[in-house]
Amino acid sequence: MEGRRAVTVAVMLGMFLAALDTTIVATALPTIARVLGGLEMYAWVVASYSLALTAATPVFGGLADRYGRRPVYLFGVAAFLAGSVLCGTARSMPELVAFRAVQGVGGGALLPVAITIVGDLYSLEERARVQGLFSGVWGVASVLGPLLGGFLVDRWSWRWIFYANLPVGAVTLWVVARRYRERPVRAAGSVDVGGAGLLVACVVVGLWSVEQGPSLSGLTVAVLLALAFLLWESRTPQPIVPLQLFRNRLVTAASLSGFLVGAALFGSLYYVPLFVQGVAGGSPTQAGAVLTPLMLAWTVASSLGGRTVLRFGFRRVAAFGAALLVAGFGLLVAVPEGAASGAVPWAVALLGTGMGLVLLVTVLAVQSSVGYQERGLATSLTLFFRSVGATVGVSVLGALLVGRLRASGVELGELRRLLDPLERARVPAEALDPLRADLTAGLEAVFLASLVLSALALLSVQAFPAGPPPQAAATPVGEAAE
């Protein structure tokens, strides 16, 4: 029992590092750009990590099923730490972008395999509680990331946001290497290198095209690569992603709901602070703090949601969570122009609660519907489609907002009047009212689109089983040395 707890804490720490990475780096980016120069590559410091992580996730999930969780997880932690060291020693922005991709590859192995290990160590009743804690890690990381990033930059150097990963990662490596045991895995045939290459190329080209515009030519290439990947996987004897896995109705429904929730929620999170500051007239501090209720609600819902799953079943809890997402976005759409931001924290708290429940149930249900030899890939696919949905959502909702503003004749540079408190104080209220009305209309369109996506997610979770399937209560297959 003690050994199992030690392994659980270790993999949770590793997952925390990868979850913390995006928010902590975003806080330090202005300082990094000032020191290293290369402001034109500012966004790519984040994008290279995200692209590499997303592309690597399903690949390593499949490898964990073929060769075991332990070696793939240890490789992921080692690659993440090596990338952290390289990032800390970067002398230019191009170097930092390349080293961040190394970190992303490590994260692509670390994140899904950590969740898979927990699925192996615990029965359903235990897993429902422990996976809830793992889901809450993301919320905690989102709250602590900006605070920790600011502290390290102010007190020492931006390089320490990467070096700080080393002691925690070393503990994770040591504990998992010594304590985690799993059933022997015999992989038949060779690794599907061709399938893995096509999948990575498709994801990188597709997400890059979405983030850049989107680019029609890039998306066309991504679609062709996707078709080539599907054709390859249907003919190779040992595919990296067995297509028959999607014959499992629950895996397909979970992938679809994860994509929709990722697009709706993560795509719109960037615009809630914009509403608080630009429409409601809040300060930058208020705009930054408005997402705190979401992160706290996400953490609490994830931590407590396992008990509700055991009592009410997968479908009811997932449907309730999706309904909360619909209610949260409905409240944001209903907030009148110029209203104080008092309703916004309640709306984002609903969103956080709904997200915590849906994401938790998605992982639990998928892991309970497949066997040991498919659990790593099935788990990684839930994370993969969620990440793809988030990237697509950010791009599409951003294009929707910009399109509405330009259709109203608003130059994007004019928004500075609403966002800069000093500028806002100098401009007469009657001159700001039309601009505020246009921004409100654009944000209402964004939140309305997110509401529609959430409603579609609500429909998709109806394919979840009403209760745990018979094989869900199977005994654990992983072990931990005492």
Q: What is the pLDDT of residue 472?
A: 44
Residues 319, 460, single domain; the answer is yes
Residues 221, 299, single domain; the answer is no
**CA 94/CA 214 separation, integer angstroms:** 23
Mean pLDDT for the stretch of residues 77-104: 88
Mean pLDDT for the stretch of residues 280-301: 75
pLDDT of residue 32 exceeding 90 = no
pLDDT digits (tens, 9 = 90+) for 142-191: 667 767 777 777 778 888 888 888 888 888 888 888 878 776 665 555 66
160, 182, 204 - which closes a domain: 182
Determine the length of the chain. Answer: 482
Does residue 381 lie within any of the structural domains?
A: yes
Does residue 336 lie within any of the structural domains?
A: yes
Residues 292, 428, single domain; the answer is yes
Return the residue matching tokens 């009047």: 417
Q: What is the pLDDT of residue 324?
A: 94
Residues 228, 284, single domain; the answer is no
Does residue 288 lie within any of the structural domains?
A: yes
**CA 397/CA 210 separation, integer angstroms:** 11
* Torsion-angle region of 281 (φ positive above 0: left; ψ -120 to 50: alpha; else: beta): left
Q: What is the pLDDT of residue 175?
A: 87
Instruction: Measure Cα distances from 160 to 142, 151, 154, 167, 210 in Å.
Output: 18, 10, 11, 12, 32
Distance of CA 306 to the CA centre of its chain: 20
Provide the domain count of the chain: 3
Residues 261, 141, single domain; the answer is no
For Cα atoms 17, 268, 465, give the angle at the middle one, nearest 5 degrees: 75
Mean pLDDT for the stretch of residues 237-246: 78
Which range is least confidently modeled, 2-16, 136-150, 292-306? 136-150
Q: What is the pLDDT of residue 457?
A: 92
DSSP for 168-221, please give it.
HHHHHHHHHHHHEE-------S---HHHHHHHHHHHHHHHHHHHHS--HHHHHH
pLDDT of residue 316 exceeding 60 = yes
Domain hosting residue 48, numbered range: 1-182
Angle between helices 44-67 and 93-121 (to 10 degrees): 40
Residues 350, 380, single domain; the answer is yes
Does residue 480 lie within any of the structural domains?
A: no
pLDDT digits (tens, 9 = 90+) for 242-282: 778 888 888 888 889 989 998 888 767 778 877 877 777 77
Does residue 482 lie within any of the structural domains?
A: no
Closest Cα to residue 136, out of 364, 21, 303? 303
**CA 179/CA 175 separation, integer angstroms:** 6
pLDDT of residue 201 exceeding 80 = yes
Comparison of pLDDT for 471 and 106, the residue scoring more: 106
3-state secondary structure of 464: coil
Q: What is the pLDDT of residue 459?
A: 92
Residues 102, 225, single domain; the answer is no
Does residue 112 lie within any of the structural domains?
A: yes
Is the previous residue joined to 214 through a cis bond, with omega within 30 degrees of 0?
yes
Q: Which amino acid is at 70?
A: R
Comparison of pLDDT for 423 and 64, the residue scoring more: 64
Round the average pLDDT of the chain to a whole number and report it.
Answer: 79
Residues 401, 464, single domain; the answer is yes
pLDDT of residue 473 exceeding 50 = no
3-state secondary structure of 52: helix
Q: What is the pLDDT of residue 453?
A: 93
Q: What is the pLDDT of residue 43?
A: 65
Comparison of pLDDT for 318 and 143, the residue scoring more: 318
Query: pLDDT class for 139, splitting at 50, 70, 90?
Result: low
What dihedral angle (degrees, nearest 10) is formed by the CA atoms of 244, 246, 249, 251?
130
Residues 212, 123, single domain; the answer is no
Indicate which CATH number applies to the domain containing 90: 1.20.1250.20
Residues 107, 208, single domain; the answer is no
Could you tell me if 81 and 400 are in contact, meaning their C-beta atoms sit under 8 angstroms apart?
Answer: no
Comparison of pLDDT for 214 and 349, the residue scoring more: 349
137, 161, 182 - which closes a domain: 182
Residues 148, 286, single domain; the answer is no
DSSP 336: P
Q: What is the pLDDT of residue 482?
A: 53
For 270, the token pair is: 């960037």
Beta bridge partners of 335: none
Q: Write down the H helix ranges in 89-122.
A: 93-121
Q: What is the pLDDT of residue 471?
A: 45
Query: pLDDT class for 436, splitting at 50, 70, 90?
Result: confident
Could you tell me if 449 and 333 are in contact, meaning their C-beta atoms sit under 8 angstroms apart?
Answer: no
Q: What is the pLDDT of residue 19?
A: 77
Q: What is the pLDDT of residue 186?
A: 58
Does residue 466 lie within any of the structural domains?
A: yes
> Residue 479 is inside which H or E element, if any?
strand 479-480
Residues 36, 109, single domain; the answer is yes
Return the percentage of the chain with pLDDT > 70, whole number: 82
Does residue 187 lie within any of the structural domains?
A: no
Mean pLDDT for the stretch of residues 344-364: 87
pLDDT of residue 69 exceeding 70 = yes
Neighbours of 236 (CB within 10 A): 16
Closest Cα to residue 165, out of 106, 108, 114? 106
3-state secondary structure of 480: strand
Mean pLDDT for the stretch of residues 339-346: 71
Q: What is the pLDDT of residue 39?
A: 63
Q: What is the pLDDT of residue 82?
A: 92
Q: What is the pLDDT of residue 350?
A: 92
Instruction: Measure Cα distances from 24 to 7, 277, 443 in Å.
Output: 25, 22, 27
pLDDT of residue 385 exceeding 80 = yes
**CA 367/CA 250 separation, integer angstroms:** 10
For 92, the token pair is: 């230019």
